[in-house]
């Protein structure tokens, strides 16, 4: 549904993405991982059409992202940026309602979509609280509810896409898993989701595919078990990991080995 | 619904009360019943509370036009202040930020120093035109500076505004330096602001500009709300961000340009009223903009009433008064808000 080919993106003098190709199809969760500064947010920005690549192209449903009518595109695809600076004393419900601005729906339809989104993001109980009174994790979930409301097409069967840049960064473990489980439910309903994550175990447990970025290039784009193999993780992230039996059959969990811990080589071997 | 309308009923009530008070007070008081009588007469009814000719003349040719001008200017300044504070996501923004006021001042000073006499039009026509042109030109220049690749960077806009204000201030100082005593006095008085020039042309200009600005800004209110999320977020929600910014800045500049042209520089209303409105009604523009405008109108009418009467028969420049009352009011508000947040 979203397809990028050979993206080269510069930020000032720096080339942040150097020939990245990626595709996300309806029904799948693609996790994007990579060290700090590897180009994850830039990739999201480029896929969103917010950053113009100097080479390559981003297509949504086969049409160049820049050729879309902004509102029509907004109804199909929502973007959650990392660390919003938004801090206005709107009520939570009003913030989520902003997600409905590309729609011209009746108050009933709008309020139903807003209520659904708030319930799914677990912020329904905060509906009448001022946004400024919330914690960082609660704010993140409100923004999530906002983008969920944005792509709630009701009975419209056209597939939706979500581009989420570190949506779990401020969430407690329970809400991190609830978020990924929610993405799986959305994927089953036909949505395409690209989600930037730092925790490889979340990707291993929930993603259909993992893309590992390293210095602006795709180091791996594969089934999460392959993409996040201990050898590759050690090379890209500079941390030695053990692959242990995970909660899902065939999906290991990674445990980092403390830097100062001498480890028998047979343990790190994959 | 009634609960949501209640603040507006109160604000309209306050404006009407301020206007009646302002119509009543002055060197020649017009008691409340005579005021009622004046309106009855106008509407063609027989009035049990007759006015004498002097009262009638003062009321209809001096006080009421002046009240209307003060209300229009106050509303324009506060409306623009509320819009720009939201657009810049910065509560310190004053409607003059983008250079309207300093550009207008420069325009007026240039005309006064380089010879209003050289122009066939009278000063009462020429000065407002110079003020409006100077103000709009300065803002257009600031806007142009901040525009690159079809996008206007709000941070650059803010800094360019500061720089253009500084340059205009320096040019104004230079003009004041070369001005003779009479010119200097005229410049200074213009800078203090006054609603004394309430002629039909000033009323028409301010009213027209305010009406256009109100029509544009009220219709932009939902988009201005979404813009508070941040420009990328608003773009991703399908908001035409650049067009919205341009329209909002254009409408604000029109309103403030006309206000400054009609009354000189009246400070603090555009800074203070949006703050009070935000405290009362929250950040949503659909309520914030009309509330700010009503508060601005009320405050300007009251300030003018005090300016006319406090030192009677002399008149205190209204700009001095709004700064004198507005600055401590602003401070009190800031401090109250800070303790409120910490509590």
Pairwise CA distance, residues A56 & A43, whole Å: 12
The angle formed by the CA atoms of residues B102, B103 and B107, to the nearest 5 degrees, is: 115
Rg (CA), chain A: 19
**List of chain A residues whose C-beta atoms are within 8 Å of the C-beta of residue B224:** none
Q: Which of A73, A86, A89 sits opposite B238 (nearest CB)?
A: A73
Q: What is the spatial distance between Cα B262 and Cα B188, in angstroms, rounded to a whole number?
A: 15
Show the tokens assigned to B121.
């039009």
- Give B-chain residues touching A88 at CB under 8 angstroms: 228, 283
pTM, two decimal places: 0.90
Q: Determine whether the interchain pair A98/B225 forms a contact, defined as Cβ–Cβ distance below 8 Å.
A: yes
Task: With beta carbons under 8 A apart, name residues in chain A contacting B237.
Answer: 74, 98-99, 101-102, 150
CA dist B319 and B194 (Å) reads: 7
Q: Are B157 and B142 in contact (CB under 8 A)?
A: yes
pLDDT, averaged in runs of 10, over chain A (270 residues)? 94 92 96 95 95 94 93 95 89 96 93 96 96 94 96 87 94 95 94 96 95 94 93 92 87 88 57
pLDDT value of position B116: 61
Running DSSP on this structure, what letter comes out for residue A257? P
A-chain residue closest to B241, CA distance: A70
B20 phi/psi in degrees, rounded to 5 = -65, -40
B229 touches A: beta carbon within 8 Å: yes
Interface of A with B in 116-175 (CB under 8 A): 150
SS3 A218: strand
* A265 CB burial (10 A radius; 0-12, 13-18, 19+): exposed
Entry field: residues in chain B: 343
> How far is the C-alpha of B151 from the C-alpha of B242, rounded, in Å?
6
A131 vs chain B: nearest CA distance in angstroms? 11
- Which residues of B fall within a CB distance of 8 Å from A102? 237-238
Distance in Å, alpha carbon of B11 to nearest chain A alpha carbon = 22
**B-chain residues near A99 (CB < 8 A):** 237
B contacts of A70 (beta carbons < 8 Å): 235, 238-240
- Whether A101 sits inside 8 A of B228 (CB atoms) is no
Q: Do A89 and B283 touch (CB under 8 A)?
A: yes
Mutate to test the interface with A, among B233, B241, B340, B341 (most CBs of A within 10 A): B233
Q: How many CB atoms lie within 10 A of CB A268?
A: 15
> Which runs of E-coded beta strand occur in chain B?
147-148, 151-152
Find out whether A118 and A143 touch, Cβ atoms under 8 Å: no
Distance CA A39, CA A219 (A): 12
In angstroms, rounded to a whole number, what is the distance separating the alpha carbons of residues B185 and B33? 40
Per residue of chain B (343 residues), give pLDDT as tens: 577 889 999 999 999 999 999 999 988 888 888 888 888 888 888 888 888 888 888 899 999 999 999 999 999 999 999 999 999 988 888 888 899 999 999 999 998 888 766 666 666 778 888 999 999 999 999 999 998 888 888 889 999 999 999 999 999 999 999 998 888 988 888 888 899 888 888 899 999 999 999 999 999 999 999 999 999 999 999 999 999 999 999 999 999 999 999 999 998 899 999 999 998 899 999 999 999 999 999 999 999 999 999 887 888 889 888 888 888 887 887 787 665 443 3
A120 in Cβ contact with A37 (< 8 Å) = no
pLDDT for position A223: 94
* CA A82 – CA A36 distance, rounded (Å): 13
Pick from B225, B229, B237: which is nearest to A102 by CB? B237
**CA–CA distance, A111 with A91 (Å, rounded to integer):** 14
Closest Cα to residue A223, out of A14, A1, A28? A28
Is any Cβ of chain A less than 8 angstroms from the Cβ of B302? Answer: no
Q: Both tokens of residue B242?
A: 């650049």
Record the tokens describing residue A245, joined without a space: 């039996």
Residue A62 neighbours by CB distance under 10 Å: 7
B279 vs B45: CA distance, rounded Å: 43
The answer to whether the beta carbons of residues A160 and A76 sit under 8 Å apart is yes
In this complex, do A74 and B284 lie within 8 Å of one another by their Cβ atoms? Answer: no
Task: For residue B222, give the chain A residue with the closest CA.
Answer: A101
Out of A45, A72, A88, name the one closest to residue B228 (CB): A88
Cis ω on the peptide bond leading into residue B313 (within 30° of 0)? Answer: yes
The alpha carbon of residue A65 is apart from the nearest alpha carbon of chain B, in Å, by: 11
Residue A68 forms contact with B (CB below 8 Å): no
Beta bridge partners of B147: B152
Nearest-Cα distance to chain B for A233, in Å, is: 32
Bridge partners, residue A211, by sequence: A32, A221
Q: According to the model, what pLDDT value does residue B186 have?
A: 87
Residues B152, B156, B159, B165, CA torsion sign: negative
Nearest C-alpha in A relative to B236: A74
Place of tokens 């009701």: A154
B226 and A98 in contact by Cβ < 8 A? yes
Altogether, the residues listed in chain A come to a count of: 270
**Which chain A residue lies closest to B280 (C-alpha atoms)?**
A89
How far is A176 from chain B, CA to nearest CA, in Å? 23
Q: For residue A206, which of A181, A188, A173, A185 has the smallest C-alpha distance?
A: A181
């Amino acid at each position: 549904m979203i397809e990028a080919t050979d993206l080269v993106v510069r930020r000032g003098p720096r080339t942040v993405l150097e020939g990245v190709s990626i595709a996300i199809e309806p029904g799948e969760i693609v996790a994007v991982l990579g060290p700090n500064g590897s180009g994850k947010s830039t990739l999201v920005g480029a896929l969103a059409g917010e950053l113009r690549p100097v080479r390559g192209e981003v297509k949504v449903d086969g049409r160049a992202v820049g050729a879309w009518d902004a509102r029509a595109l907004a109804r199909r695809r929502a973007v959650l940026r990392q660390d919003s600076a938004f801090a206005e004393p709107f009520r939570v419900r009003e913030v989520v309602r902003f997600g409905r601005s590309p729609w011209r729906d009746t108050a009933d339809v709008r309020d139903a979509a807003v209520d659904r989104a708030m319930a799914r993001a677990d912020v329904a109980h905060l509906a009448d609280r001022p946004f400024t009174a919330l914690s960082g994790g609660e704010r993140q979930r409100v923004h999530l509810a906002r983008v969920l409301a944005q792509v709630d097409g009701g009975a419209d069967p056209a597939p939706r896409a979500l581009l989420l840049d570190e949506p779990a960064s401020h969430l407690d473990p329970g809400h991190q898993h609830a978020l990924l489980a929610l993405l799986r439910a959305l994927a089953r309903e036909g949505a395409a989701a690209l989600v930037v994550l730092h925790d490889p175990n979340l990707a291993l447990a929930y993603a259909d595919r993992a893309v590992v970025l390293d210095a602006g290039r795709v180091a791996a784009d594969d089934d999460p078990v392959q993409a996040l193999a201990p050898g590759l993780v050690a090379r890209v992230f500079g941390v030695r990991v053990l692959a242990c039996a995970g909660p899902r059959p065939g999906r290991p969990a990674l445990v980092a080995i403390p830097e100062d811990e001498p480890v028998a080589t047979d343990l790190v071997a994959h | 619904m009634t609960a949501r309308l209640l603040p507006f009923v109160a604000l309209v009530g306050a404006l009407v009360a301020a206007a009646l008070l302002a119509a009543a007070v002055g060197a020649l008081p017009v008691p409340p019943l005579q005021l009622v009588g004046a309106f009855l007469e106008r509407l063609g009814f027989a009035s049990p509370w007759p006015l004498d000719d002097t009262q009638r003349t003062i009321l209809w040719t001096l006080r009421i036009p002046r009240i209307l001008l003060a209300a229009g200017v106050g509303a324009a300044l506060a409306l623009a202040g509320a819009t720009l504070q939201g657009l810049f996501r910065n509560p310190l923004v004053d409607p003059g930020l983008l250079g309207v006021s300093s550009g207008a001042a420069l325009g007026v000073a240039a005309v006064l120093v380089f010879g209003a006499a050289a122009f066939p039009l009278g000063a009462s026509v020429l000065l407002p035109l110079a003020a409006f042109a100077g103000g709009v030109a300065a803002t257009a220049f600031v806007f142009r500076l901040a525009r690159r690749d079809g996008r206007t960077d709000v941070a650059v806009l803010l800094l360019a505004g500061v720089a253009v204000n500084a340059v205009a201030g320096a040019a104004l100082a230079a003009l004041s330096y070369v001005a003779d005593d009479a010119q200097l006095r005229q410049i200074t008085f213009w800078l203090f602001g006054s609603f004394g020039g309430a002629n039909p042309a000033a009323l028409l200009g301010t009213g027209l500009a305010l009406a256009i600005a109100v029509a544009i800004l009220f219709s932009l209110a939902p988009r201005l709300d979404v813009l508070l999320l941040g420009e990328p977020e608003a773009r991703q929600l399908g908001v035409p961000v650049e067009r919205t910014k341009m329209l909002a800045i254009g409408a604000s500049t029109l309103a403030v340009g006309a206000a400054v042209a009609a009354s000189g520089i009246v400070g603090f209303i555009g800074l203070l009223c949006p703050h009070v409105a935000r405290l009362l009604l929250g950040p949503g523009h659909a309520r914030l903009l009309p509330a700010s405008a009503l508060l601005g109108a009320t405050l300007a009418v009251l300030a003018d009433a005090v300016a006319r009467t406090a030192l009677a028969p002399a008149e205190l420049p209204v700009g001095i008064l709004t700064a004198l009352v507005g600055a401590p009011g602003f401070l009190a508000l800031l401090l109250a808000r800070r303790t409120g947040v910490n509590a």
